[in-house]
Chain A
Amino acid sequence: MIVQALIDQGVDTVFGYPGGAVLPIYDEIFQQNAIRHILVRHEQGAVHAAEGYARSTGKPGVVLVTSGPGATNAVTGLTDALMDSIPIIVLTGQVPTFMIGSDAFQEADTVGITRPCTKHNWLVKETDALSGVIHEAFHVATQGRPGPVLVDIPKDVQFATGTYHAPKPSVSHYQPKLKGDMEEITELVAAIEKAKRPIFYTGGGVINSGPAASQLLRELVKVTGFPITSTLMGLGCYPASGENWLGMLGMHGLYQANMAMHDCDLMINIGARFDDRITGRIDAFSPKSIKAHIDIDPSSINKVIKTDIPIVGDVGHVLEDILKVWKSRGRKTNSEALAKWWAQIEEWKTVDCLKFTQKGKTIKPQHALVRLEELTKKHDRYICTEVGQHQMWAAQYLGFEDPNRWMTSGGLGTMGYGFPASIGVQMAHPDALVINVAGEASWLMNMQEMGTAVQYRLPVKQFILNNERLGMVRQWQELLHGERYSHSWSDALPDFVKLAEAFGAKGILCADPDDLDDAIMEMITHDGPVIFDCLVEKHENCFPMIPSGKAHNEMLLGEAETQGVIDSKGSVLV
């Protein structure tokens, strides 16, 4: 029945790990061919793989794990998906209903534990209700602001026979509002017509709204001529090669993007949530602007930053209406002021905040990414990352032309996300080039998934920028803690080439900038999983950087500016 419900929901791939409490479901999976099951090596890997699958396809990812430790191991992935609004359906086994509460073997209060880290969850105690709950779970996970859901299914409920209900047009009371309020939209259009220094500030909501939303955004940017920046989660909704692109904003965002956010007079937030990595010091955040905020989740509005024009609705629907209203009112913008604004932006761009010098025999991590970009940008390419400096460099130096091509852990910042995510992406796109830009420390957190990659012959490329440090931790210790590098390096790293070989995969070591291009080409052309161990400069810091407790126009651009920049008030912030 469960497998039938998944098939009827259009599921083709399930990531999972069997155990006592889900054996009846695994028995069903064994006896069918419609759904592929991918055996991961750890339940956290299953959830991240499902996230990678979901982010790169726009479809929900499905996970199947057992009770107790199976469920608790999934918690990090669930929280990650909740923070980044990724639709995931996790099915967990549970001890039989008559044993619940008896501290049975591998029993855990799964719905209790996962309540704060799912959008919604269910414990199904009657077999007749099972199919309905699974259909409802897909509805809740994908409608409104997407998110992870969990269905906990006791083993006796799995064994019993019951009535199957096919999915039907939703009877659920959960029906989020999609259309924005026309009055607010008209007010925003009026602001667009008058704005002297406007900026689009876009986020993951554009990508979650679907490819059509990205198309509408591109049209809106083109016809208005406004500059556009994006959060980490929104990269790809507007092409990096686009004329109006300023680059990513935020703590490690580009100079021109942050300066434009600070000085703008109209900020149009589309599907972003004023995260603290974006705003920096709140009372100094874009002090002169009218702020419009388009979000499908009413609780995002006014949560952090007071909004002048709030629009609750789906990004795609709202953008369509904005375009319609703006065109019907005569397609006006304040072009004279806009030209001045662009001149100012061009001046900021000349700061060239991402410049670096590759010299000597040590590879700069930025250089490695520039070469990776150059050699892979023409491919059908998907990029995943782990969390840390490499993640920020990847966001800065790689170009994203389309949505759903960039998988990274934004809100939760989960080290160990990227490798399993790349497995999920490769499952969904078997012929694409899937690269996980990693740091060696993050990568080791879920390295067991090498077994999965090799077993399913997934040619995922693990591009490890190896500085033998927890680079971002080290950077903060340098800036904030008097260069006392407490536990931010590893003394016993594996030989990654041998590690790859131990799993039956290919390992490549590159330490010389002159060898880099050939090594990257070797990685791309190898038909199978590759661990690319790129030894990079150990003490490189990630710039630009808005230090904690500072405003957008107080960015650090390089090493020379780092002494004593964070005061005691800022140092308590993360």
Chain B
Amino acid sequence: MSPLKIKKGSTSHSAYNLRPTFSDVVERHTLAVLVENEPGVLARVIGLFSGRGYNIDSLTVAEVDHTGHLSRITIVTSGTPQVIEQIKAQLGRIVSVHDVHDLTVEGASVERELAMFKVVGQGDKRVEALRLADIFRASVVDSTLESFVFEITGAPDKIDAFADLMRPLGLTDVARTGVAALSRGE
């Protein structure tokens, strides 16, 4: 699914499953929300989550179609199936929202996140950090005699794993972009 190809008119082309089977199990869902790129649109989306008490685990936003004035917001959220359905329906109600896709239920998708890690240390720890970075295919984007800044891209759990390994080796700062996601295939 290309973010630029999503058809306008969200309700006739919607991802809403109006007949869900409800359970109490909290699920993690990745939602792709295509919105009008206008002032305040992010506040509308975030305000919906805080106002109605939904969770945001991660959120990324950037313009994806300059001529069409469209931005894509990728939200990772968690809740029971009923809550997830409500979130999607409530997002769909926002006038600036063109389309809502639940990548978790609409077939396979890929998720990627970029992170930067600052690791400060000397001697063996420094060597070990560099070796592990190589295994994780993280690249060094800044270096001093006593520090590295690694850049790593991958699924969120890969980044979590890398962070766990770096922590004893002198990890001081982390910057993560949050998840960007696309469905696989056409």
Contacts and interface: CB of A to CB of B under 8 A. Distances in A.
A301 B18 contact: yes
Top 3 closest pairs, chain A to chain B, by CB: A299-B89, A310-B18, A120-B95
Contact of B86 (A123, A140, A302, A307): A302
B184 interface: no
A307 B18 contact: yes
Contacts of B19: 307, 310
Nearest to A118: B95
A242 B107 CA distance: 51
Contacts of A174: 95
B65 to A, nearest CB: 13
Contacts of A176: 11
Contacts of B43: 112, 115
Interface string A160-182: 00000000000001111100000
A112 B16 CA distance: 29
Interface in A237-273: none
Interface string B28-46: 0000000010011001100
Contact of B92 (A115, A123, A299): A299
A90 to B, nearest CB: 15
Interface residues of A, number: 24
A173 B18 contact: no
Interface string A354-393: 0000000000000000000000000000000000000000
Nearest to B21: A306
Given A115-B43, A115-B47, A140 B95 contact: yes
Interface residues of B, number: 28
B11 A302 contact: no
A40 to B, nearest CB: 28
Contacts of B22: 306
Interface string A305-339: 01100101000000000000000000000000000
Contacts of A120: 94-96
Interface string B1-22: 0000000110110101011101
A307 B86 CA distance: 13
B12 A177 contact: yes
Interface in A529-548: none
Nearest to B91: A299
B39 A116 contact: no
A312 B51 contact: no
B95 A302 contact: no
A526 interface: no
B85 interface: yes
A310 B16 CA distance: 11
A36 to B, nearest CB: 29
A301 B89 contact: yes
A298 B95 contact: no
Given A299-B89, A301-B18, A310-B19, A115 B44 contact: yes
29 contacts: A111-B40, A112-B43, A115-B40, A116-B47, A116-B51, A120-B96, A123-B40, A173-B8, A173-B36, A173-B98, A174-B95, A175-B9, A175-B11, A297-B89, A297-B93, A298-B14, A298-B18, A298-B92, A298-B93, A299-B90, A299-B92, A301-B18, A302-B20, A302-B82, A302-B85, A302-B86, A306-B82, A310-B19, A312-B11
A301 B92 CA distance: 13
Contacts of B36: 173
A302 B47 contact: no
Most buried by B among A145, A173, A297: A173
A298 B22 CA distance: 17
Contacts of B90: 299
Most buried by B among A115, A175, A298: A298
Interface in B39-59: 39-40, 43-44, 47, 51
A299 B93 contact: yes
Most buried by A among B20, B40, B51: B40
B11 A177 contact: yes
Given A115-B43, A173-B98, A312 B9 contact: no
Nearest to A176: B11
Given A299-B93, A302-B86, A310-B18, 4 more contacts: A115-B44, A115-B47, A116-B47, A298-B16
B22 to A, nearest CB: 6
A119 interface: yes
Nearest to A177: B11
Contacts of B47: 115-116
Contacts of B98: 173
A174 B12 CA distance: 11
Interface string A541-560: 00000000000000000000
A119 B11 contact: no
Contacts of A302: 18, 20, 82, 85-86
